[in-house]
Structure 1
Amino acid sequence: MNQSKTQKLFYLYANRKIKVGHDGYIELNAILDDDYRMKRGQEIFATIFFLGVKSHRYVNRAKWKNIPPMLRFKAMEEDLTMVEGFTPRQIMTIFPIDKVYDKTGEVKDYFSTMDMIKQHGLDTPIHDVFEFLINYMNKDIRIFCVDMITALSDLKREQGGTGVLEDLLVQGDGYQNGEK
């Protein structure tokens, strides 16, 4: 896919997300029935989350890196907040699990994702959305999670620390606190 088409798709998703959020806010304020407001709010939040995650597939990486890390991280954190309290069943309707099978058992696949969901409970609300999504097998979700980890790493580096992956590598090798 060429760069201009990719950018158009990103802006299409991003602009639609803003429009749905704006119109949804107005709509929710006009609904008097609490049960219907809750149901409609979840539908609107699911749509905003879908558009926010989907847009990351089409991000221009050069331009994305020029946005301050705090702004990148905050925008993605807001997307996660939209689905806080959703159940795995609801997430599965927004982003179905990829039908990828790994015979070795060493890679996340459809079955390992379903095992994780069964342990969590299909209709149990998700409180740590990022932790749930990082273990969820869907290409769009993976891209979103990688972008969020990258934004957090850039933010930590900007504040004088090391990135998230560097921290994990150092801790995993025993180099933390000068152990080796």
Structure 2
Amino acid sequence: MIINSYRMYTLLERAKNRIGHDGFIELNAIFNNAYREKRSKEIFASVFFLGVKAHRYVDRDLWEQVDPTERFKQMERELLLLQGMTPRQLLNVFPIDKVYDKTGEIKDYFTTMKFIEGYGMDRRIDDVLSFLWDYSNRDLRIYLLDYMTVLSDLEKKDGKPSLMEQFLFDGGMTND
């Protein structure tokens, strides 16, 4: 059975909202703080997982019609869910791509594991974007690309050059 991209995106968004809503009700009903904290991390990981996965199936034309400010707010809320998790927990949700590069010029499994071991497997992730930038997972790369696109769209909306235009300008490339 083939499911089109829009249908898959809609299903993932509904699941994300349902898990978030049901999880919120559950967390408010539980008085055991240790269980509540453990369960909240599981719920946040589930909502973040579905938010990231949805970006694989989003209709790009519809996505770009949404106001950049709204897109940015949605993605920021999803990134906040990841804040405070540990690399060990992230590995369970988004495993590292099993890609091996003999040249050492691209991120692969070994460079990502070396980065995580240097960071600490059980240390909280506070700077989420910086951490994800060095993490090798296809879904997260798509998500980060969409995030960078939203930032660029926000700059253009404010009448400033896009991130790529600014990068080229800073590098000495001009329209001349």
TM-score using structure 2 length: 0.94
Aligned to 1:119: 118
Q: Report the Cα offset of residue 174 of structure 1.
A: 4.3
Residue of structure 1 equivalent to 2:17: 18
Task: Count matched residues.
Answer: 174
CA shift in 2, pair 1:10/1:123, >3 Å: same
- Classify the secondary structure of the residue corresponding to 1:98: coil
For residues 69-98 of structure 1, give each alpha carbon's deviation from its aligned partner in whole angstroms, at most 9, with x where no partner exists: 011111011111001011111111000000
Match of 2:55 in 1: 56
In the alignment, structure 1 residue 108 sits paired with structure 2 residue 107: yes
Give the counterpart letter for 2:94 in structure 1.
F
Deviations 1:21-51 (A, max 9, x none): 1111111000001111000100000000000
Which segments of 5 or more consecutive residues in structure 2 lack a partner in the other structure? none
User: Pairwise mapping of residues 17-36 of structure 1 onto structure 2 (< 5 A)?
Assistant: 17-36=16-35
CA distance in 2, matches of 1:54, 1:167: 30
Q: Distance in 1 between matches of 2:53 and 2:134?
A: 18
How far apart in 2 are the matches of 1:79 and 1:123? 21
Q: Which residue of 2 aligns with 1:150?
A: 149
> How big is each residue's C-alpha offset from its partner over 1:106-159, in whole Å with a ceiling of 9 and x where there is no partner?
111111111111121111111011111121111100000000000110011101
Identity of aligned residues (%): 49
The 4+ residue runs of structure 1 with deviation greater than 6 A are none
Residue type of the partner of 1:9?
M
**Which piece of structure 1 moves more, 115-124 or 51-60?**
115-124
- Matched residue type, 2:78: D
| 1:165 and 2:125 correspond | no
Q: What's the CA shift for 1:175?
A: 6.0
Which secondary structure does the structure 1 equivalent of 2:102 belong to?
coil
